[in-house]
Protein backbone atom coordinates (compact mmCIF):
# COMPACT_ATOMS: atom_id res chain seq x y z
CA UNK A 1 0.00 0.00 0.00
CA UNK A 2 1.39 3.39 -1.00
CA UNK A 3 1.45 6.34 1.33
CA UNK A 4 -0.84 9.06 -0.02
CA UNK A 5 2.08 11.22 -1.13
CA UNK A 6 3.69 8.35 -3.04
CA UNK A 7 0.41 7.50 -4.77
CA UNK A 8 -0.01 11.17 -5.70
CA UNK A 9 3.51 11.37 -7.15
CA UNK A 10 3.08 8.14 -9.16
CA UNK A 11 -0.24 9.34 -10.59
CA UNK A 12 1.12 12.83 -11.24
CA UNK A 13 3.94 11.47 -13.38
CA UNK A 14 1.59 9.15 -15.27
CA UNK A 15 0.31 12.38 -16.84
CA UNK A 16 2.79 13.56 -19.45
CA UNK A 17 4.53 16.93 -19.63
CA UNK A 18 3.70 18.25 -16.18
CA UNK A 19 6.31 20.28 -14.34
CA UNK A 20 5.95 19.71 -10.57
CA UNK A 21 7.22 23.22 -9.89
CA UNK A 22 3.97 24.53 -11.42
CA UNK A 23 1.78 22.78 -8.83
CA UNK A 24 0.99 22.83 -5.13
CA UNK A 25 1.58 19.54 -3.33
CA UNK A 26 -1.06 19.12 -0.62
CA UNK A 27 -0.97 16.40 2.02
CA UNK A 28 -3.41 15.58 4.79
CA UNK A 29 -0.58 14.89 7.26
CA UNK A 30 2.93 16.25 7.55
CA UNK A 31 4.92 13.86 5.33
CA UNK A 32 6.97 11.07 6.85
CA UNK A 33 10.68 10.75 6.06
CA UNK A 34 9.95 8.43 3.10
CA UNK A 35 7.52 10.94 1.61
CA UNK A 36 9.78 13.93 2.34
CA UNK A 37 12.43 12.23 0.22
CA UNK A 38 9.95 11.32 -2.51
CA UNK A 39 8.69 14.91 -2.72
CA UNK A 40 12.30 16.08 -2.95
CA UNK A 41 13.32 13.56 -5.63
CA UNK A 42 10.19 14.20 -7.69
CA UNK A 43 10.97 17.91 -8.04
CA UNK A 44 8.11 19.57 -6.19
CA UNK A 45 9.34 22.80 -4.64
CA UNK A 46 6.57 23.06 -2.06
CA UNK A 47 4.11 21.12 0.02
CA UNK A 48 1.27 22.01 2.36
CA UNK A 49 -0.02 19.76 5.12
CA UNK A 50 -3.02 19.86 7.44
CA UNK A 51 -2.09 17.71 10.43
CA UNK A 52 1.40 18.33 11.88
CA UNK A 53 3.38 15.47 13.42
CA UNK A 54 2.40 16.51 16.94
CA UNK A 55 -1.30 16.21 16.14
CA UNK A 56 -0.81 12.91 14.30
CA UNK A 57 0.83 11.66 17.48
CA UNK A 58 -1.53 13.17 20.08
CA UNK A 59 -4.90 13.05 18.28
CA UNK A 60 -4.45 9.91 16.20
CA UNK A 61 -2.01 7.94 18.38
CA UNK A 62 0.45 7.47 15.51
CA UNK A 63 3.94 8.39 16.78
CA UNK A 64 5.92 6.63 14.03
CA UNK A 65 6.93 9.70 12.01
CA UNK A 66 8.39 11.43 15.05
CA UNK A 67 10.10 8.26 16.23
CA UNK A 68 11.68 7.52 12.83
CA UNK A 69 12.90 11.09 12.40
CA UNK A 70 14.43 10.90 15.88
CA UNK A 71 15.93 7.41 15.74
CA UNK A 72 17.17 7.43 12.14
CA UNK A 73 18.05 11.09 11.61
CA UNK A 74 18.48 12.43 15.19
CA UNK A 75 15.78 15.03 14.49
CA UNK A 76 14.05 16.13 17.68
CA UNK A 77 10.30 16.85 17.72
CA UNK A 78 10.00 16.63 13.93
CA UNK A 79 12.05 19.79 13.42
CA UNK A 80 13.47 19.04 9.97
CA UNK A 81 14.53 21.99 7.81
CA UNK A 82 11.13 23.22 6.57
CA UNK A 83 12.64 25.67 4.11
CA UNK A 84 15.63 24.40 2.17
CA UNK A 85 17.30 24.25 -1.25
CA UNK A 86 14.71 21.78 -2.56
CA UNK A 87 11.36 22.94 -1.21
CA UNK A 88 9.40 24.97 1.30
CA UNK A 89 6.80 23.34 3.50
CA UNK A 90 3.76 25.05 4.93
CA UNK A 91 1.28 24.20 7.65
CA UNK A 92 -2.23 24.82 6.36
CA UNK A 93 -3.26 25.76 9.91
CA UNK A 94 -0.50 28.38 10.08
CA UNK A 95 -1.56 29.76 6.71
CA UNK A 96 -5.18 30.01 7.87
CA UNK A 97 -4.09 31.90 10.99
CA UNK A 98 -2.57 34.58 8.71
CA UNK A 99 -5.92 35.37 7.09
CA UNK A 100 -7.09 38.91 7.81
CA UNK A 101 -10.74 38.35 6.88
CA UNK A 102 -12.36 36.98 10.06
CA UNK A 103 -15.47 35.76 8.23
CA UNK A 104 -13.37 33.79 5.74
CA UNK A 105 -11.19 32.42 8.53
CA UNK A 106 -14.25 31.29 10.53
CA UNK A 107 -15.78 29.56 7.48
CA UNK A 108 -12.56 27.69 6.78
CA UNK A 109 -12.13 26.67 10.43
CA UNK A 110 -15.69 25.28 10.46
CA UNK A 111 -14.85 23.18 7.41
CA UNK A 112 -11.67 22.03 9.12
CA UNK A 113 -13.68 20.94 12.16
CA UNK A 114 -15.68 18.65 9.86
CA UNK A 115 -12.50 17.26 8.31
CA UNK A 116 -11.02 16.64 11.76
CA UNK A 117 -14.20 14.86 12.83
CA UNK A 118 -13.94 12.52 9.82
CA UNK A 119 -10.27 11.84 10.52
CA UNK A 120 -11.06 11.17 14.17
CA UNK A 121 -13.54 8.48 13.15
CA UNK A 122 -11.06 6.97 10.69
CA UNK A 123 -8.37 6.99 13.36
CA UNK A 124 -10.68 5.32 15.87
CA UNK A 125 -11.43 2.57 13.33
CA UNK A 126 -7.71 2.15 12.61
CA UNK A 127 -6.82 1.94 16.30
CA UNK A 128 -9.54 -0.65 16.95
CA UNK A 129 -8.34 -2.85 14.08
CA UNK A 130 -4.58 -2.32 13.92
CA UNK A 131 -3.83 -5.58 15.74
CA UNK A 132 -5.32 -7.38 12.71
CA UNK A 133 -2.99 -5.85 10.12
CA UNK A 134 0.61 -6.50 9.17
CA UNK A 135 1.98 -2.99 9.58
CA UNK A 136 5.34 -3.65 11.26
CA UNK A 137 5.42 -0.50 13.42
CA UNK A 138 2.16 -1.23 15.24
List the chain domain ranges: 4-8+19-131
The model's pLDDT over 34-91, given as tens digits with 9 standing for 90+, comes to: 999 999 999 999 999 999 999 999 988 889 999 999 999 999 999 999 999 999 999 9
pLDDT of 138: 61
Cβ atoms of 111 and 93 within 8 Å: the answer is: no
Q: Give the span between the Cα atoms of 36 and 44, in whole angstroms.
A: 10
- 6-40 pLDDT tens trace: 999 999 999 989 999 999 999 999 999 999 999 99
CA distance 95 to 82: 14
Interior angle at CA 94, CA 90 and CA 98, nearest 5: 115
Amino acid sequence: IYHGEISTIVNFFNIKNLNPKNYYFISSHEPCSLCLSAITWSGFDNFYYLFPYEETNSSFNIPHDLKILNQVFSIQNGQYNKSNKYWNSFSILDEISKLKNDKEKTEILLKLDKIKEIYSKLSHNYQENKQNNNIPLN
